[in-house]
Amino acid sequence: MQKRTIIVWLIVALAAFVTVGCATNPITGRSQAMLVSDAQAAQESAQAYNQLLSQAQQQSALDQDRTQLSRVQSIARPLIAQAVQMRPATGNWQWDVHVLQSPEINAWCMAGGKIAVYVGLLEKIRPTDDELAQVLGHEIAHALLSHQAEKMSRVQMQNLGLGVGVMAGAAIGYDVSGLAGLADSLATVGLQLPNSRLAESEADSVGIEMAARAGFNPNAAVSLWEKMIQVGSSGGPDWLSTHPNPQSRLQAMRARAQQLMPVYEANRKNR
């Protein structure tokens, strides 16, 4: 078989593999790389989550303040209910919410509904209930929108693409394996980070909507992010950041909050 034919077949095989591994998100309508399914991502998340909770328990860093835990869980509950309404399949998830004793300003929701809020966020940001709902809504939105599975899928695609490139080079007599590290870095900047910024913007938009539906003021997303900026959570050049530019993000949040005020007003009494 001629070398050119080998290269063509490698490229065709890669394109077919990537195409088969794409799916349309039911909430955003965006086509996502989904070589890794939500179920697979949730399974891996559950293992990591259980291990983390076990370690936190051993270090007396799990749910130490029952008042804090009760507050976080009470705010998460109506958001989870809205998440299930937006994507009914998540009603089968084993949702779980905990508070971790850590000075980091952080919170997350893994695939499958595994949620954690760090004490550092509660004590340094001092979010109101509406602002905390924006944090949780944003993190739940990541899971709702399959961002973890998508990121894992893109890593697989990136690795596969590098492998095909090395094989194609070998087919025409070139050893390009030494360039794999550089190619991987370029692929991360060109593919992974822009996608992460898109994921953050999507989670902002869907998270604010989820919170508004649950009766939390969408304007709190703006005040929350202003607090984040004040404590220096942003940093580094925008093109190498996994988050959108802070000022652009604030502008988008203000516009989205105004759109959702009628939704909030219609649901605030039911909170």
Instruction: Average the pLDDT over each of 17-21, 78-82, 195-199 and give the range with the smallest value.
Output: 17-21
Report how far apart, in Å, the C-alpha atoms of 212 and of each of 1, 83, 220 are.
61, 12, 10
pLDDT at position 77 over 90: yes
Q: What is the mean pLDDT of the chain?
A: 81
**Assessment of whether the complete model's pTM goes beyond 0.85:** no
Encode pLDDT of 189-214 as tens digits. 344 444 578 889 999 999 999 999 99
d(CA 197, CA 178): 29
d(CA 11, CA 105): 44
Encode pLDDT of 148-158 as tens digits. 888 888 776 66
Give the pLDDT of residue 156: 66
pLDDT at position 218 over 90: yes
Q: Mean pLDDT throughout 26-48?
A: 86
Q: 240 - beta bridge partners?
A: none
pLDDT at position 237 over 60: no
Q: Mean pLDDT throughout 73-84?
A: 98
Give the pLDDT of residue 3: 46
Encode pLDDT of 98-129 as tens digits. 999 999 999 999 999 999 999 999 999 999 99
Q: Where are the domains of the chain?
A: 3-270
**110 contacts 143 by C-beta, under 8 angstroms:** yes
d(CA 128, CA 125): 9
Number of H helices, E strands in the chain: 10, 5
* Range among 4-18, 53-67, 175-189 rated most confident: 53-67
pLDDT at position 145 over 50: yes
Give the pLDDT of residue 37: 85
d(CA 32, CA 196): 12
Encode pLDDT of 165-187 as tens digits. 444 444 444 443 443 444 344 33
Q: In the structure, what pLDDT confidence band is assigned to residue 160 with cuts at 50, 70 and 90?
A: low
Closest to 246 (Cα-Cα) out of 261, 236, 257, 258: 236
Q: Mean pLDDT throughout 208-230?
A: 95
Instruction: Average the pLDDT over each of 44-48, 54-58, 62-66 and give the range with the smallest value.
Output: 44-48
DSSP strands (E only) in the chain:
22-24, 31-33, 96-100, 107-110, 114-118
Q: In the structure, what pLDDT confidence band is assigned to residue 9 with cuts at 50, 70 and 90?
A: very low
